[in-house]
A and B are shown apart, each in its own frame.
Chain A
Amino acid sequence: MKTGEVPVIWLQAATCSGCSVSVLNSAHPKIAELLLQEVVPGRHINLRFQATVMAGAGEPVLEVLEEAEHSLRGQFLLIVEGAIPMAEGGSFGTLGEEPLAERAAALGRAAQAALALGTCAAFGGIFAARPNPTGCVGLGELFKAEGIATPLINLPGCPPHPDWFVGTVAAILLLGLEGLEEARLLDEYRRPKLFYGKLIHEHCPRRAYFDEGKFAKYLSDEGCLYELGCKGPITHADCPLRLWNGGVNWVIGCGAPCNGCVEPGFPDLVSPFYQKLKEA
């Protein structure tokens, strides 16, 4: 990303749009600031395609995608939200009468870098859950199957925290993907360690209850939620420190167990959600 303007194409595949809504919740910067102003000094993002907020519809906006594939080759950031439906020739999900899988592959091949936003785009997520009726996969798996070498960052979470998105975009604008690689800022799942480096359990304010063996007996009760199915001990995210929605609360703060939504095994390997983790 050498110039001040970084074109961004945001493709929604098999998604609930919750990742888009979560990014709209960004507080600092606000979403309008993110769209209109410099994200880091001298660097703007230029959001050319985002179906939930963009003004246009139909043929004119499809031309934006064609343009990105051809005239912006190697110059734009691709953000994918949602899993990629692969079954039945990709016919479960289409955009402008073309399978989303083909769109994602063509754009992925042309992009300078790709960001898989949310657990569905990163690992398949909820729509790839057993029995995975539409053959959903994450973007990384699509890239692997198609032999696409474009650098990829995963930002899982159902949805991801807006700070994780903004912080990662800022890091890409400042360092470039090569810089991120060189500084070893990504973990084995290509998640930024800054946000996914520690277990929920390590920073949980209810950790003292766990250590003392004081366990909540029912939802909303005081005490550690481990016995009620909390997946905090195996979930990598900074929710207990960062908190959600302007810092007003978070899942465990609300008296409910963590459901492991950032992990590659979500939801099948972390459910039933209200059943105690098996002793490893």
Chain B
Amino acid sequence: MGKIVIDPITRIEGHLAIEAIVEDGVVKEAKSSGTLFRGLELILQGRDPRDAPLITQRICGVCPIAHATASTFALDRAFELEGKITKNGRIVRNLILGSNFIQSHVLHFYHLAALDYVDITQVADYSGSDPGLQAVKRFLERGELGPFLPRYEGDYRLPKKLAQEAAAHYLQAFDVRRKAHEMLAIFGGKVPHTVGIVPGGATQVPTVDKITSFLWRLNEIRSFIDNVYIPDVLTIARAYPDYLEIGSGCGNLLSYGGFPQEDGWFIWGGTTSRDLNPEKLDPSKITESVRYSWYASSQDPLHPSVGLTLPHRAKEGAYSWLKAPRYDGKVHEVGPLARILVNYAEGNPKVKRLVDRALGELRAEPQALFSVMGRHLARALDCKLVADAMAEWVLELDPGGPVYTEYELPDSAHGFGLVEAPRGALGHWLSIEGKRIKHYQCVVPTTWNASPRDEEGRPGPLEQALEGTKIRDERNPFEIVRIVRSFDPCLACAVHLVRPKGREIGRFQAI
């Protein structure tokens, strides 16, 4: 029996270490561990509630907009602004968040995940005229190969021509994600860390030049998604067919729903599992267990609305700073796979068309999406779904029309905001007293996906996805890093509350 420890896991957002116990070449037990603690919820206490969207964005520089959105939805509710947001305000918010979906998904596939499958040193033999690839070739000839070496060696399967094409797309994708950020800044001012999403609506009044400039960048990006991104995911899935089977995970999926429309949500909320029977979302069924987390509790599990966070570093048997969120007493995965399959199961027509076409290309059943490649494919389809819709939304803007609704800051109030972040279901809960934040709590996508075991000892989705995996070469454990990265983990998001050594630094009770 051997133990594989990977610390740091790179090409993710944040600090993560993975420990896997391997017996006869198979992962028997896996533990994921966040290695950085920052304490943002404590920092929020006592501050002006209107500052929360700016401060919570600093949880994550890759998906700050999702935090701004969840925080703003929570404040809209607390300030009794629901139903009072102007049409322009709603659309501008959706365009800012949608732009960040695109940049996050493109960044993840090409710059965080692709180097696990694409051997960039294949460009050394390149003989064509693409200036980007020629630059890579000269770079390889210089012999100083950081940041591409060192790396795990062995399992790179793409033939040379496809590897060279993928390397060119890796470079092109840098431009695409940068342009997605330009789109975002047209309505959000700047990014990372935008200023344009606020309780009451948005701050940027749309004008014809901004709409045009946004739309033409979007057209270029949509062409990349259709002609490069989705085909590349399919190419890699065909080269690594075993990854349509491994890393399957817990099999239960959860979506909060996202992108408000005049009548409901663009992405639907709900749950489903391997049988693809849909069920409606009932937020009262969310619980959090701290049985294997470094927190004390007299009752376990608890609904987040009455949840406590009492750090207890010396707790026996605990091994994570993450809690274990569960839905309806079951382990659930969140993220693009969950969004896409929940909507597929519910019969969302746009999603059904996209998924059926992609599965047709791979000659696979929907159940094959419960896999490493399934997560990458779902993320690409999610990217297309949102980008295509944005082309319609941006034309629904009323140039020069109002984006903002004024309000009075209440003396005391409660609020919560549930949204779909690029990485999945995200919730912020807050309470206000004396016009100041009294409590603030975030339950973020990676807390769901990278959670430890719960009150009944059931491993979290990422742990389940690792357990049972065959490791072909323990010195180059590709399988582990590929499974972990398929979840697009954001550990900076997930661990931001507490301090070690068991000292209590505050009680956090959501409404």
Contacts and interface: CB of A to CB of B under 8 A. Distances in A.
B471 interface: no
A73 to B, nearest CB: 17
Contacts of B139: 35-37
A142 interface: no
Contact of B189 (A134, A159, A250): A250
A36 B135 contact: yes
Contact of A16 (B59, B138, B142, B189): B59
A25 interface: yes
Contacts of A183: none
B35 A93 contact: yes
B37 A256 contact: no
Nearest to B192: A18
A50 B112 CA distance: 12
Interface stretch (B145-153, B327-335, B388-396): B145-153
A18 B505 contact: no
A134 B499 contact: yes
B184 A245 contact: yes
Contact size range, A: 35 or more
Given A16-B61, A91-B500, A93-B36, A274 B14 contact: no
A256 B205 CA distance: 11
Interface stretch (B158-166, B173-181, B356-364): B173-181
Contact of A32 (B37, B171, B187, B499): B171
Interface residues of B, number: 90
Interface in A129-182: 129-134, 136, 158-159
Contact of B35 (A62, A95, A256): A95
Contacts of B148: 54-55
B490 to A, nearest CB: 9
A51 B8 contact: yes
Interface stretch (A187-195, A204-212, A265-273): A265-273
A159 B492 CA distance: 16
Contacts of A267: 51, 54-55
A133 B8 contact: no
B486 to A, nearest CB: 15
B225 interface: no
Given A32-B174, A47-B147, A245 B58 contact: no
B7 A97 contact: yes
Nearest to A252: B189
Contacts of B184: 245
B36 A14 contact: yes
B13 A17 contact: yes
B188 interface: yes
B286 interface: no
Interface string A229-271: 0000000000000001110111101111101010000010001
A5 B143 CA distance: 11
Contact of B10 (A57, A132, A256, A274): A57
B472 interface: no
Contact of A134 (B5, B38, B152, B190): B38
B185 A249 contact: yes
B39 interface: yes
Interface core residue of A8, A50, A61, A100 (most chain B CB under 10 Å): A61
B205 A131 contact: no
A54 B5 contact: no
B501 A88 contact: yes
Nearest to B144: A46
A238 to B, nearest CB: 13
B481 interface: yes
Nearest to B484: A57
A171 B397 CA distance: 44
Nearest to A255: B203
B419 to A, nearest CB: 18
B342 interface: no
Given A32-B171, A46-B146, A17 B151 contact: no
A19 interface: yes
Interface in B295-351: none
Nearest to A119: B58
30 contacts: A18-B60, A18-B61, A21-B62, A24-B174, A35-B139, A36-B138, A37-B138, A50-B147, A54-B148, A57-B8, A60-B150, A64-B146, A92-B37, A92-B38, A93-B35, A126-B58, A127-B58, A134-B39, A159-B193, A220-B202, A220-B404, A244-B185, A244-B189, A248-B182, A248-B185, A248-B186, A267-B54, A271-B47, A271-B48, A272-B51
Given A61-B8, A96-B7, 11 more contacts: A17-B14, A32-B132, A57-B481, A91-B501, A96-B8, A127-B43, A131-B42, A245-B185, A249-B204, A254-B190, A267-B54
- Which 6 pairs from chain A and chain B are nearest by CB? A18-B61, A254-B189, A133-B39, A245-B185, A48-B146, A272-B48
